[in-house]
Structure 1
Amino acid sequence: MKAKKFIVGCVQATPSIFNKEKTLDIIYNWIKKAAEQDVKLLVFPESFIPVYPAGLGFGTVVGSRTEEGRDLFKEYWNNSIEAEGKESKKIAEWAKEFGMFISIGVTEKDTVSKSLYCTILYYSPKGELMGKHRKLKPTAAERLIWGEGDGSTLTTFNTELGKIGGLICWENYMPLARMSMYQKGVEIYLAPTADCRDSWNSSMIHIACEGRCYVIGANQLIRKTDYPEHLQKQLAEDRPEILSRGGSVIVSPLGKVLAGPLYNEEGLLTAEVDHDEIIRAKMDFDVIGHYARNDIFEYAAKDQPEIKNQN
């Protein structure tokens, strides 16, 4: 039976950069804090393991790569995780320990191809990895380090909390990617990101209004001094001291900001989800229902997975 009201949480924090073991300790501490506030769904930012590598160029300009850049990529790869590896299994155990759904952004390594992907991992209170979503289109210089996902991971999960799904960072600017979430009836829309501009907060409000769903946007707090000393030397000199100021936020189905946006500090945002608010919001706009014009517009997405039932 679907829970009508419950608490969701959003973590804005700094990982231990390029150190997956210490970052796991940080993750556990935030899960524990969230459990103390009775959070039933906890969302972490984009690539929290091993970090969104803001300010690093990986020794690359058009037409040229350096040996130092290749070494940096290897270090990043070594501190990334497998979707079903030992680090992921630890997070699944914590989800069960605290009776919580958990979503976390990671850099996922494919041990066969050796490619990396920007991925959301989803865990259930049963201690299971429910599934994952790989970012469809890395943005700009992100393409140096991450491959492209495909339609097979444009997924949502039918849970006791409702239908949960989401997109990563600038995927949320792709109207048809958003539509893939709406077509699946997403009710709690997750948007882990590395975008800390004021305009991102506006996008979160827009998506909540467009999808008539709750939106949880999670970002990291990253300063130059958070990087290990050997990596600080590789940061672009023109970058500001605060590389990501955060901006995490939780928004209601009618676009009301329920928590945040949080800037320039770590924190745990929480808000109550009430499924009745989704119904109330659908009265005058439903992008896949009474406001749709299927006689005019057609929508198709390739290789779509079935909605996974986690009840």
Structure 2
Amino acid sequence: MLPRFKAAAVHAAPVFLDSWATTEKAIAIIREAARAGAELIAFPETYIPAFPVWAAMWPPIDNHDLFVRMAEQSVLADGPEVARLCAEARALGVTVSIGISERSAVSVGGLWNSNLLIGETGEILIHHRKLVPTFYEKLVWSSGDGAGLKVAETRQGRIGGLICGENTNPLARFALMAQGEQVHISSWPPMWPTRRPAGGGNFDNVAANRIRASAHCFEAKVFGIVTAGYMDQAMRAFLTERDRTIADVIDQTPRAASFFVDPTGSVFGDGLQDEEGIAYAEIDLNRCVEPKQFHDVVGYYNRFDIFGVTVDRSRLTPARFRDADLPIAQVQDAAILAVDADAGSNGQGRDYRS
């Protein structure tokens, strides 16, 4: 029998641009969800310290101070905020997925849109950096890499996840399907403004996110947890007090929703959109089996002799260093080992010896 468990999709606002206060709020939410019986708890995109919605509101020449504050409040993947979350997951014996704005250890202005999957032992199972920032996100975050395109074996099954628009990328999704994914976590911002209300045709993120989540769950025959951010009054006030002309944009842009999707692509369980809270659903992975008879795109329902997919899971770094006192042979071997270690177990390490 495959696992059965209760999952939680957190539909909550951060303490806007305050990483430590948001971490403490996340701890309180994790405890509440655990008391309710949730074993897998998923937070929205860049929950710590916030989603930079201002990048959609004003040109970058007006946002320098906000970028500086975002950089100050972004967190290291091995920093104290993440350590606090890992300790809490271990203490409660739960699995936690959380979005962070990740700060680079070697660049005071280098940021990534990242997501961490923390296991019940407190270990970081997956550290994923968004492959490509979407639209105006490019003004804040750098492109990530393939190192986090992994599926983790947990007590709740095989868990994978993608951030926001990555769920539109068929190859990123297939990379997770090909690793036997059973639960897919997709994380989203609280809103996604693309036009002023007078122009009409603003992006309907609720419909778009449902389509993407349902498509993945139907194709992969997996369960989906859709977890979106929430804009509270404090966040709205921060933005509108800076520029009252954008109040109409904020108020008439659709708010994102958090919900669950089953392996047929149908929405089930709790759903939240216009109020802050935690949505819950009971997940039974045994329901992933029957639909595989119809289409199994990583099994019999594909042609691997025709289609070939290669995924490079190397972690990108700005430079590789050689110490002057090392003999040439040791330098070469060290470089090879470093590349192989970055590539993980996927066999994509490269030999740079000439």
Asked if Structure 1 and Structure 2 have the same fold, meaning a TM-score greater than 0.5 normalized by the shorter chain, the answer is yes
Q: Give the ranges of 4+ consecutive aligned residues of structure 1 lying more than 4 Å apart after TM superposition.
A: 304-308
1 CA distance for matches of 2:120 and 2:252? 35
Q: Say which structure is richer in helix.
A: 2
Q: Which runs of 5+ in 2 are unaligned?
A: 193-204, 315-342, 347-354
Q: Say which structure is richer in strand.
A: 1
2:297 matches 1:302: no
Q: Which runs of 5+ in 1 are unaligned?
A: none
* Pair member with larger Rg: 2
1 CA distance for matches of 2:105 and 2:56? 24
2:70 matches 1:70: no
Q: CA deviation at 1:242?
A: 6.5
Preserved contact between residue 55 and residue 139 of structure 2 (Cα < 8 Å): no
Among 215, 218, 226, the alignment partner of 1:209 is: 218
| Closer, same or farther: CA 230–300 of 1 in aligned 2, 3 Å | closer
Aligned to 1:53: 52
Preserved contact between residue 43 and residue 190 of structure 1 (Cα < 8 Å): yes
2 CA distance for matches of 1:230 and 1:273? 38
Preserved contact between residue 3 and residue 155 of structure 2 (Cα < 8 Å): no
Per the normalisation by structure 1, the TM-score is: 0.90
1:74-128, Cα deviation, whole Å (9 max, x unpaired): 1111111110100000000110121100000010001202310000011111122
Q: Which has the higher contact order (CA 8 A, sep 6+)?
A: 1
Aligned to 1:84: 78
2 CA distance for matches of 1:189 and 1:37? 21
Per the normalisation by structure 2, the TM-score is: 0.79
2 CA distance for matches of 1:82 and 1:261? 32
Aligned to 1:249: 259
| Closer, same or farther: CA 171–125 of 1 in aligned 2, 3 Å | same
Deviates more, 1:283-292 or 1:238-247: 238-247
Aligned to 1:34: 33
2:230 matches 1:221: yes
Q: CA deviation at 1:256?
A: 2.3
> Partner of 2:142: helix, strand, or coil?
coil
- The code of the aligned residue for 1:173 comes to T
* Aligned residues: CA RMSD: 2.2
> Partner of 2:250: helix, strand, or coil?
coil
Instruction: State the aligned residue count.
Output: 302
Aligned to 2:180: 185
Q: CA deviation at 1:41?
A: 0.6
Aligned to 2:92: 98
Query: Which runs of structure 2 are paired with 1:132-143 in the superposition (5 Å)?
Result: 132-143=127-138
> Partner of 1:30: helix, strand, or coil?
helix
- The code of the aligned residue for 1:76 comes to M
Percent of aligned positions that are identical: 29
- The code of the aligned residue for 1:125 comes to E
Query: Which runs of structure 2 are paired with 1:16-35 in the superposition (5 Å)?
Result: 16-35=15-34
